[in-house]
Structure 1
Amino acid sequence: MLKKTLATLVLGTALLGAGSAMAADYAIDTEGQHAFVNFKISHLGYSWLYGSFKEFDGSFSFDEKNPEASKVNVTLNTKSVDTNHAERDKHIRSGDFLNVDKHPTATFASTSVKSTGEGTADITGNLTLNGVTKPVVIAATFVGQGDDPWGGYRAGFSGNTTLKLKDFDIQKDLGPASQDVELIISVEGVRQ
């Protein structure tokens, strides 16, 4: 159950594609809640448990003509995990999982962007979660861009990646069907 660190993960999403005619910097619109860092993990192999991180911040740069020059940075508040169940959320925040008292944030910083097709890219970056930094790859898709009703300009991306819990020193054994967590990210950035 990771974070915007995945937040990263997340935001990695913001680097592909088809969009503005020149390089630009964007702030991820968390204030208007037009960005999400969600996750899902199998519950005993019988169903899916879904959750999200409610508090994160980040930015990305995007150059349609040179997407490989794009960058993504995200910081996630691990205490903001929400699975719609207070006792479970308390357990996820504990030392069994995210250890939020010791590691209150998770971060994602892109290191490279590689176009994989029209409007898609792999965003590689360093995810720091639970005090462990590992490279991850986010499969990102350009959603769209253009003027907004408030006089700004926006660009949006989606992305996903799968993390192995043990790679981030999360040792709680949830059974064989629950070793990996999928991050599902959607970001909309406002051009600065």
Structure 2
Amino acid sequence: MLKKTFAALALGGALLSAGHAMAADYKIDKEGQHAFIQFRIQHLGYSWLYGTFNDFDGRFTYDEKNPAADKVSVTIKTDSVDTNHAERDKHLRSADFLNVSAHPTATFESTKITSTGDKTADIEGNLTLNGVTKPVVIKATLMGQGKDPWGGYRAGFEGTTKLKLKDFNIQRDLGPASQEVELMLSVEGVRQ
């Protein structure tokens, strides 16, 4: 009886350990510039205007066997908006758009992750921007994972989502072609 109990405990412990080995915590590699949060919006319907947020931080968990258990958390410093045009960036930081003096950060916290294919998933979560919190869905793709040359382990993802400006209390009307902004995310995380 004691042998069976010990064997069952050992097996349970091994299974539990194996389950924990599958899930891992990752820190987004912003120091190495292997992560980007970019956006684009139409300019008057004639062209695309591109920009980026230069200062952000975040973490995610990744378990390829159980994506429903994964989590994503990102904080963006909104005054780091950069469209390669100083006057436009100043305007984007104003109360007309991001209102960075009142809302210096934007955050995203995942609430649910659903696998949609072999390397794709929908990441549902709450985005807080300009003092407003709304649910969004990021269409994500696993780019790859594996060991790096420095003895670490990395996983990389890209994703996209679209936001309606008025949903986040950005009332400045830029014309009918410019009601939505597309966010494009590319993140590489280092396993902790």
Matches for 1:110-129 after TM superposition, within 5 Å: 110-129=110-129
Greater RCO (Cα-Cα under 8 Å, separation 6 or more): 1
Structure 1: runs of 5 or more not aligned:
1-20
- Equivalent position amino acid for 2:98 in 1: L
Q: Secondary structure at the match of 2:161?
A: strand
**What is residue 93 of structure 1 aligned with on the other side?**
93
Q: Secondary structure at the match of 1:174?
A: coil
Question: How big is the shift at 1:102?
Answer: 0.2
Question: How big is the shift at 1:47?
Answer: 0.2
Question: Runs of 4+ in structure 1 displaced over 3 angstroms?
Answer: none
- Equivalent position amino acid for 1:106 in 2: A
Q: Which is helix-richer, 1 or 2? A: 2
Q: Secondary structure at the match of 2:22?
A: coil
| TM-score, normalised by the number of residues in structure 2 | 0.89
Residue identity (%): 76
**What is residue 78 of structure 2 aligned with on the other side?**
78
**What is residue 152 of structure 1 aligned with on the other side?**
152
What CA distance in whole angstroms lies between the structure 1 residues aligned with 2:43 and 2:162? 16
Moved more, 66-75 or 21-30: 21-30
CA shift digits 1:98-144 (9 cap, x unpaired): 00000000000000000111100000000000000000000000000
Calculate the aligned-residue CA RMSD, in Å: 0.6
What CA distance in whole angstroms lies between the structure 2 residues aligned with 1:115 and 1:101? 38
- Equivalent position amino acid for 2:68 in 1: E
What CA distance in whole angstroms lies between the structure 1 residues aligned with 2:86 and 2:149? 37
| TM-score, normalised by the number of residues in structure 1 | 0.89
- Equivalent position amino acid for 2:154 in 1: R
What CA distance in whole angstroms lies between the structure 1 residues aligned with 2:77 and 2:148? 28
Pair member with larger Rg: 2
Question: How big is the shift at 1:55?
Answer: 0.2
**Would you say how many aligned residue pairs link Structure 1 and Structure 2?**
172
Structure 2: runs of 5 or more not aligned:
1-20
**What is residue 132 of structure 1 aligned with on the other side?**
132
- Equivalent position amino acid for 2:65 in 1: K
